[in-house]
Chain A
């Protein structure tokens, strides 16, 4: 886990850019305990988790 300082307001996209994760790369995003999207707003204390794509069901 890493702690990031980012602008306020910010989005998941800003977090990815700050971390150097390519935006076009397929991925699963979790924002706290929900599925996140690239344009979701993040606030101080939020947890953004990036996973590789998964399959199943």
Chain B
């Protein structure tokens, strides 16, 4: 296994062997490389700030749904360490090619494409895809490099280095619909002058493991465990959008700029509406975002004429561009999702940013045309578009808005913190900023007692999971033992559930240490004050987990 070190200024690529026994991948690889090579004080968009792409430990093997890829470095949105991960087909291919990480440093004056295949890696001029949106750019790259490639790409938002910009990864239908969304990873890649990475794994077979029989057996157990979990059926049939009704029911669906926890017009956005429209129009539920996926939770959404609009229309997107903006028109939400995929924008952050504009009279809830027009302003790079594209905190600061739904500068996602208090603790404390994938806590949602402990354990295990490349929905049914046995037999190293947990702890320690040196200390571990005083209807709950308890979360 190796790591590619890319110097964008000299256009040099060095391939280094990565120590076999060093079990870091994905988010752990970013934590490790940022600790070794990253400068906490460098500007996130400067040549000194590395941009890192890393598949997980299990990538390229037959481990189920193990192809998620991590992207990160220092975030222009939070100013701290950042990892965002995405499904898609590239992680599996890089794993097959034996590549553990790509670390990009320096800056190229001309936009480049990094081509990786079994023969090696080269930088080539990006040419006519510069300035292009993601779907047409990927089509051009397939014409240039062949149909079998996976593409990792930034859109115009990343080229503009907007603090809310994503890295897209192509899915099994070759569409750039999977995004490492949060924290401005697109701007980090753009700041290197790197427009795209194309990966061709022709000739590379899947990894069999140091102990092939044991690995095969461990995979078999993992597959059966996921298959037999009834939650698989929920995600497969209803998609993640199941949460529109589920969170609406329990008062944790962000509505009208996080002012309510239930949306009276949610029927228009629900899973059942999506299924009915799909059945009538030729869209579908239950699609895989990566090879080897068993859960298959992704919808493909068509318009009234039966034409593809968008893929991966997920709950967070539907909630933040729908309910949070008072919009109940799923067609409009789907169009906005497509535009965000084309431009390379995180839908959570866009939904938060447009939402706060209501406070200053620049957005009326329910005005879908206005919301769509704001996204077009980002496409055009107007001053207003750039402000919105810089995230909710920047937008609020520019317009003198004091009620900002964000932690460490990153917009709060679509499981409300006040009525899901364990989740609120995760938003408050994650070194990544408010992040719905950093540590899910479902138990006893309205009770503040015990939430710090639950969030601590969830954040530790989720961090370790993010090192493996496994989808977080594996964890709904898998256990650390099953995951550890796959890693152990693939690498031929004694590795247990306790090692898995220790890896998660070490990752969080590294992330916290980096943040502290970057000027983000423990005092940043809190929700906005107004969430402790403004009740969220219909539960009328406030966030009341004691701050003294929260401050103890990382004592492990």
Contact = CB atoms under 8 A, between A and B. Distances in A.
B203 to A, nearest CB: 36
B511 to A, nearest CB: 22
Contacts of A16: none
A18 B230 CA distance: 21
Contacts of A57: 240-241, 243, 314-319, 414, 436
A25 to B, nearest CB: 10
**Interface extent on A, as a size class?**
10 to 19
Most buried by B among A28, A30, A53, A55: A55
Given A53-B250, A56-B315, A34 B275 contact: yes
B415 A49 contact: no
A51 B231 contact: yes
Interface in B198-253: 230-231, 233-235, 237-238, 240-243, 245-246, 249-250
Contact of A37 (B245, B318, B442): B245
B423 A30 contact: no
A22 interface: no
B268 interface: no
A57 B442 CA distance: 15
Contacts of B112: none
Interface in B24-56: none
B472 interface: yes
B271 A35 contact: yes
B445 A35 contact: no
Chain B interface extent, by class: 35 or more
Given A55-B415, A55-B442, A35 B243 contact: no
Given A30-B233, A30-B237, A35-B271, A54 B246 contact: yes
Contact of B476 (A27, A30, A54): A54
Contacts of A54: 231, 234-235, 242-243, 246, 442, 476
B436 A30 contact: no
A38 B107 CA distance: 57
B404 to A, nearest CB: 22
Interface string A11-52: 000000000000000111010011101000000000001011
B440 interface: yes
Contacts of B297: 56
Contact of A26 (B242, B270, B445, B476): B445
Contacts of B315: 56-57
A51 B442 contact: no
Given A30-B237, A35-B245, A55 B271 contact: no
B272 interface: yes
Contacts of B275: 34
30 contacts: A26-B249, A26-B250, A26-B442, A26-B445, A27-B246, A28-B246, A30-B233, A30-B234, A30-B238, A34-B238, A34-B272, A34-B275, A35-B242, A35-B271, A37-B245, A49-B230, A52-B442, A53-B442, A54-B234, A54-B442, A55-B415, A55-B436, A55-B440, A56-B235, A57-B315, A57-B316, A57-B318, A57-B319, A57-B414, A57-B436
Interface of B: 230-231, 233-235, 237-238, 240-243, 245-246, 249-250, 270-272, 275, 297, 314-319, 414-415, 423, 436, 440, 442, 445, 472-473, 476
Given A28-B234, A35-B271, A55-B415, 15 more contacts: A26-B246, A26-B249, A27-B246, A30-B238, A33-B237, A52-B231, A53-B442, A55-B440, A56-B297, A56-B314, A57-B241, A57-B243, A57-B315, A57-B316, A57-B318
